[in-house]
Structure formats: C-alpha cells, structure tokens
C-alpha cells in the first residue's frame, strides 16, 4: 500500500469505488465512467485501475495542491454523485448505507490513508493484482464483463499495453478547480 504524499501538497488524488454487499465491479465501472465525465468537466483526467479485489480506484494527477483542498474536492464530488444516483452510490460510511451500492470513499485522500499501489498482488484464494486498465475495459465491465487479473495476465498486459499507471506520473497535472 502507498500512503498520501506525506507533504503539505498532494500531486494526485484517489477516488476509491468500494462495492457494498450486492454490488460489484459492474456498478463500480458504471460510476467510474460518470466520474470520468465529471473530472473532464473540471479539466482533470483519471487513470482507472482495479483494486485486485472487488473495487476500483481512479488515480488523478493534479498540480501540487494543499491536502485539505484535495480532501474537500473529492468529498464534494462523491457527495454530488451519490446525490445524483442514490440507488447506485453513497458517500456515507457504514454498512447500513452500502447495501447494493458503491461507497465513493473520499477518505482515501486524508493524510496517512493507504491505497493499494498499482501492480500489487492481493492475498486470497485466487490472488488478484491491482491493475491499471483502459477506459474501453471499464465500459465493458459496466456492461457485465469481468475486470480481474492474475499475475500472469498482468505480465502479458504490460507487454501489450506498457505501464498504464505511468500516465499518473507523466501526464500534465492541472490544478484543481476553485
């Protein structure tokens, strides 16, 4: 897991899509596509990745921004989306709010929060890998296609697509909107 930058200013933000009981990767992918549109409206781009388990993360490069501004932006975005599609998303913590919905966990941006790093192997009966994906794969997952990768599949993907997570480090990093 990687932590927040540990600096006063953050150079990226994370949008964590964490499915509750009865929700899955299709719901996460549907929300990721909606978030992509909202981010684009703010001049931001995201690199989507799986968590290696059931959810997704959107990694968004930004110009160095004070921690509290990043947390505030992601929290407002999560609350707005949860309000727009309450049957699909929530920004409220707690199992009672999550049944059949995806938690848009803005808290992944608070100081010292940890997020699984790209290409991390996740323990389990069938270990999955936190894998950067392309938006066409996210769209396919929203229509019901699986979006889960083994270690061997990730090696093949890197050979085919290169390091999709590198975009987070190399993309132009615009400022957060006011």
Residue 162, domain extent: 2-170
Q: Please indicate, yes or no, if residue 165 is contained in any of the structural domains.
A: yes
Q: Which pTM was predicted?
A: 0.92
pLDDT tens figures, 88-126: 999 998 878 889 999 999 999 998 888 999 999 998 888
- Percentage of the chain lying above the pLDDT 90 cut: 82
Q: Please indicate, yes or no, if residue 176 is contained in any of the structural domains.
A: no
CA–CA gap between residue 35 and residue 57 (Å, rounded): 11
For the CA atoms of 52, 118, 40, 104, the dihedral, rounded to the nearest 10 degrees, stands at 40
Q: What is the CATH number of the domain that holds 48?
A: 3.30.70.3300
CA–CA gap between residue 60 and residue 48 (Å, rounded): 9
Q: Please indicate, yes or no, if residue 177 is contained in any of the structural domains.
A: no
CA–CA gap between residue 113 and residue 115 (Å, rounded): 7
Q: Please indicate, yes or no, if residue 113 is contained in any of the structural domains.
A: yes
Domain count, the chain: 1
Confidence of residue 8 (pLDDT cuts 50, 70, 90): confident
């Amino acid at each position: 897991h990687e932590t927040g930058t540990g600096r006063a200013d953050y150079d990226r933000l994370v949008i964590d899509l964490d499915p509750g009981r009865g929700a899955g990767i299709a719901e996460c992918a549907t929300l990721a596509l909606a978030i992509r549109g909202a981010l684009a409206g703010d001049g931001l781009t995201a690199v989507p990745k799986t968590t290696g388990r059931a959810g997704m993360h959107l990694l968004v490069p930004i110009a160095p921004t004070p921690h509290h501004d990043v947390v505030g932006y992601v929290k407002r975005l999560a609350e707005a989306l949860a309000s727009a599609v309450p049957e699909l998303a929530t920004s409220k913590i707690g199992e009672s709010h999550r049944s059949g919905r995806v938690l848009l966990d803005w808290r992944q941006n608070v100081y010292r929060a940890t997020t699984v790093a790209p290409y991390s192997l996740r323990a389990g009966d069938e270990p999955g890998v936190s894998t950067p994906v392309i938006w066409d794969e996210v769209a396919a997952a929203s229509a019901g296609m699986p979006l889960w990768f083994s270690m061997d599949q990730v090696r093949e993907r890197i050979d085919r697509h290169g390091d999709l997570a590198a975009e987070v480090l190399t993309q132009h990093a615009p400022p957060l909107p006011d």
